[in-house]
Amino acid sequence: MGLLRIILALAVVISHSGGFFGLKSIGGLRAVQIFFIISGFYMSMILDKKYTGKGSYLLFLSNRFLRIYPVYWFILFLTIFISIISAIFTDNWFFISPYIEYFEVISVDTLIFQIITNIALFGQDISMFLGISTETGKMFFTHNYNLLEPRFNSFLLVPQAWSLGVELMFYMIAPWIVRRSAFLIFSIIIISISLRFFTYNFIGYSFNPWTNRFFPFELSLFLFGTISYRLYCSRLITMNLGKIFQIFIVLAYFSIIIFHQKSLEFDRFPNLFNWLLYCYTCLVLPILFEFSKHSNIDYRIGELSYPIYITHILIIFLLSPPLKRMNFSNFNGEVIVIVTIILAFFIVKYITNPIECIRQKRVLCRDTRCKLSTSPTRHRDLCKY
């Protein structure tokens, strides 16, 4: 599923950078929420096959942290470094500007919370539910961050990392949920979607951040991935549908993701298209995984998705102003996509791959002591995730 992951990551980049040769794709919000479904699929798989037995919970969490934090911290450090260099030579503090501008306003406890959140990732998803009082400098909860100044989320140095905060919340509870009965999982999905529907239609909170940053609502999407994994295990799709029909389903799905048109949506029911797409994703993932699970090329392509996602805002802020000055704004998206992919390649080579060796060794050492419960080939496939 590496090809899908990189297409989704690029969809986020394209949505933030203004397009790519005229393509708008499905947009950043939908791409991130499909990522949540994919994450639910993978976490359900590895918790079913890879992280089992005594000590598996801590091993699972620590390996997920090793997957996320080193790359994130590198981009965080790079952002701070570039901001300081920018301040020295241009008097522009870049991403640190909100801290400089409101330093005398922010209370100590608020500042500490912001620093910890930027380092630890936890809490970034609730940044848009918080405001800062300009009188006391204290934090307070708000239902609409758009009405406030300063915006609390403007203090995030890697702003797109809010989705990692949501991911981490799911990692913390996944081992206690994804192994449960289908009845319980469907019940949680129904409750989550019902809460979302009630909040949108009866309270009136049908806007960002309620649309994609409130974890109780997003939990249903992760569990869509769990249902998709169980569909894969049951072979209902991969065994009962012919290969030609499966290929058609996948190609149709990719065409919707890449060449999405507004005309496909339903004006009277604005969220209906989203949920149909998410259900379609659940049907496609078992086919995609079956096609690609032994492909090293697909895996390596997919490895670029996280670095692309976590670096693209920094690249946009660095390149958009000079491109505008040089009258290359029409090629803004194309240049940013290319540069982001190049940077992602080096991050994978020099950060992700060495860390992956450590992650795999930790699991192999545990499984050597416990004896492998899967075939060597299948175990190598699982080590990828």
**pLDDT tens per residue across span 214-241:** 999 999 999 999 999 999 999 888 788 8
What was the pLDDT predicted at 380? 46
377 pLDDT exceeds 50?
no
As a dihedral over the C-alpha atoms of residue 61, residue 66, residue 67, residue 72, rounded to 10 degrees, the angle is 120
What was the pLDDT predicted at 65? 96
Residue 1: which of 230, 18, 370, 9 has the closest Cα? 9
Q: How many domains does the chain have?
A: 1
Domain encompassing residue 265: 2-92+164-383
Mean pLDDT to the nearest integer, 359-372: 69
Q: What residues have CB less than 8 Å from 302, skipping those under 6 apart?
A: 1, 2, 3, 4, 5, 6
266 pLDDT exceeds 60?
yes
pTM tops 0.75, yes or no: yes
Is 243 within a domain?
A: yes
Beta pairing partners, 20: 23
* Rounded Cα gap, residues 384 and 359, in angstroms: 9
Report residue 368's pLDDT band, with 50, 70 and 90 as the boundaries.
low
* Rounded Cα gap, residues 152 and 8, in angstroms: 27
- Measured at the CA of 157, the angle between CA 154 and CA 160, to 5 degrees, comes to 80
Mean pLDDT to the nearest integer, 294-298: 94
* Rounded Cα gap, residues 375 and 105, in angstroms: 59
Residue 211: which of 281, 312, 143 has the closest Cα? 143
For 190-216, what is each residue's pLDDT tens digit? 999 999 999 999 999 999 999 989 999
What are the DSSP E strand ranges found in 236-344? none
Is 129 within a domain?
A: no
Query: What region, left, alpha or beta, does residue 205 occupy, with left being phi > 0 and alpha being psi -120 to 50 degrees?
Result: beta
* Rounded Cα gap, residues 103 and 97, in angstroms: 10
C-beta separation of 4 from 301 below 8 A: no
Is 121 within a domain?
A: no
Percent of the chain predicted with pLDDT > 90: 72
Is 124 within a domain?
A: no
* Rounded Cα gap, residues 351 and 356, in angstroms: 9
Report residue 109's pLDDT band, with 50, 70 and 90 as the boundaries.
very high
Is 206 within a domain?
A: yes
Q: Worst-scoring range by mean pLDDT, 74-78, 229-233, 271-275? A: 271-275
Does a cis peptide bond (omega within 30 degrees of 0) precede residue 209? yes
For 133-184, what is each residue's pLDDT tens digit? 988 999 999 999 888 888 999 999 999 999 999 999 999 999 999 999 999 9
**Mean pLDDT for the chain overall:** 90
382 pLDDT exceeds 60?
no
* Rounded Cα gap, residues 139 and 337, in angstroms: 36
Is 130 within a domain?
A: no
Is 313 within a domain?
A: yes
The radius of gyration of the chain from alpha carbons, rounded to an integer in Å, stands at 21
CA distances from 321 to 82, 190, 318 (A): 15, 46, 7
Is 133 within a domain?
A: no
354 pLDDT exceeds 80?
yes
